[in-house]
Amino acid sequence: MENSIYQVYEDEIQSLEEEIKMLAEKYEDSQQESTFFSDEEILMSMKSFQTEFQGELKGQESPSDLKAQLESLETDLSFLMKFTGIWFTSHSKKTVEKTGSRTIQKHRLSGNCHSLPFQLEFQLLEIKSKESVSAVITDLNVIMESGEYSGVSKFVSSTEEHGNLLPFFRSLSSYAEWYEHRRCTFLHFKTRYPDIVKLPEGLLGDYIVLRNPEPSGATGGTDAEANSPLTVPVATGKRPYEDLGYSSVSQPLVCSEAPVPSGGLTRRQRSSWALTAGAGACGRRFELMIVWKIHVDEDGRTTPVLDLLTKVPEQVLEQNITTIENAPTCFRSMLLLFGIETAIENLIKVVGLKK
């Protein structure tokens, strides 16, 4: 009993020590920042602020006007956050240099764009002249989970190189909207067709697997049939992705043997999908994999890229080779005609009939 009480006290003491340390660091930073300003500059700033504040008070008829203006600003801010999906959760700045007309401040921003968290670190260089004030962003560092949001990696690198934040936020908002739309779409189909739709990487993954509830063909096959290899058919004479790409400009994506810049699968990845067939009844099922990637190019253009892969038992492939070879082409046609949700739902219904 006494040990537990002592432990509570020790935890409280440690918490207080950490808080004291944090406050001491903030005080030191503020003291350091204040040394960049002379007494004359501080007095002039105080006098200017007092004059402006008194002038604003004279222009106000009553405190209710101030309240109305505040409510209007809050409404505008709320609309802007809902419109862009971007809101900041924290911001800190620190003056690292101030000499004459030159000022350098280090900024750190944290926030979310829809469901995507991000952090920004950069230095803001301000140079004052008699006629104007110029500001330049340097040492920009964009922090995102590269593993989960690999589609924006090239764009992030380009943003860090050029130090332009406005295109970054614009493209991040577009990417996050597609990211959230994909998550909601996967959730909808998983809830509606739980026996057919599989999410190996969860709702935040970039693909779903459609698997018919029963093995393809007649039941009670031999062990040899159960362990038969699975094949990914590719139309003869066509490149692996020629009929599989889908973009917002309604044009097929032209892909090479190298990793696909638009976010599609490489030939090696397609081969691995063909070789992952399991043994037993699971290996005899008809399956479709729908890959839905979201690519942002170096210029910030956001493009959804959808691929369709088939995985079927060899005996089924021999009986329906033409139909299966044409499946990716038909899927792209459905995407162009009906949109993503309807195209996926039609595939789910087809898979559900394959018993």
Q: Helix, strand, or coil here: 339?
A: coil
Q: How many angstroms separate the CA atoms of 138 and 144, rounded?
A: 19
The pLDDT confidence band at residue 30, using thresholds 50, 70 and 90, is low
Q: Please give the biggest Cα pair distance in the chain.
A: 93
pLDDT beyond 60 at 252:
no
Instruction: For residue 72, give both structure tokens.
Output: 């209007």
pLDDT beyond 70 at 38:
no
Residue 177's Cα: distance from chain center in Å? Answer: 8
The pLDDT confidence band at residue 261, using thresholds 50, 70 and 90, is very low
Q: How many angstroms separate the CA atoms of 76 and 193, rounded?
A: 41
Pick the more confident residue, 303 or 314: 303
Pick the more confident residue, 316 or 5: 5
pLDDT digits (tens, 9 = 90+) for 165-175: 888 888 999 99
Distinct helix (H) and strand (E) counts, the chain? 11, 9
Q: How many CB atoms lie within 10 A of CB 290?
A: 22
pLDDT more than 90, % of the chain: 18
pLDDT beyond 50 at 323:
yes
Residue 212: HSE in the Cβ half-sphere, 13 Å Cα cutoff: 22
Output the pLDDT for position 228: 32
Output the pLDDT for position 57: 57
Output the pLDDT for position 115: 83
Nearest to 92 by CA among 124, 135, 117, 116: 124
Mean pLDDT of the chain: 73
Are 112 and 118 spatial neighbours (Cβ–Cβ below 8 Å)?
A: yes
Choose the most confident range, by mean pLDDT, from 150-159, 216-225, 251-260. Answer: 150-159
Helix (H) or strand (E) holding 302: strand 302-313
Are 148 and 116 spatial neighbours (Cβ–Cβ below 8 Å)?
A: no
pLDDT digits (tens, 9 = 90+) for 43-89: 777 777 777 666 655 555 667 777 888 888 888 888 888 888 888 88
Q: How far is CA 337 from CA 140, 259, 295, 325, 340, in A?
A: 42, 28, 22, 20, 9
Instruction: For residue 336, give both structure tokens.
Output: 């162009």
Output the pLDDT for position 246: 28
pLDDT beyond 60 at 36:
no
Pick the more confident residue, 70 or 324: 70
Q: How many angstroms separate the CA atoms of 315 and 311, rounded?
A: 12
pLDDT beyond 50 at 208:
yes
Q: How many CB atoms lie within 10 A of CB 128?
A: 13
Q: What is the pTM of this model?
A: 0.61
pLDDT beyond 80 at 282:
no
Q: Which residues of 334-348 are buried (b: 16+ CB within 10 A; e: fewer)?
A: bbeeeebeebbbebb
- In the numeric block, the tokens 């290996």 are attached to 283
pLDDT beyond 50 at 225:
no
Among 47-56, 218-227, 243-252, the range scoring the smallest mean pLDDT is 243-252
Q: Helix, strand, or coil here: 46?
A: helix
pLDDT digits (tens, 9 = 90+) for 82-131: 888 888 888 898 888 888 788 999 999 999 988 889 999 999 999 888 78
Output the pLDDT for position 107: 93
How long is the chain? 355
Residue 99's Cα: distance from chain center in Å? Answer: 40
Q: How many angstroms separate the CA atoms of 37 and 129, rounded?
A: 18
Output the pLDDT for position 352: 80
Output the pLDDT for position 255: 27
Pick the more confident residue, 238 or 48: 48
Burial class (CB in 10 A: 0-12, 13-18, 19+), 191: exposed
DSSP string, 182-229: HHHHHHHHHHH-TTTEE-TT-TTSSEEEEE-SS-SSSSS--HHHHT--
pLDDT beyond 50 at 180:
yes
Instruction: For residue 99, give both structure tokens.
Output: 């000499």
Q: What residues are paired with 122 via a beta bridge?
A: 107
Output the pLDDT for position 158: 86
What would the mean pLDDT of 312-333 be, rounded to a whole number?
73
Output the pLDDT for position 320: 64
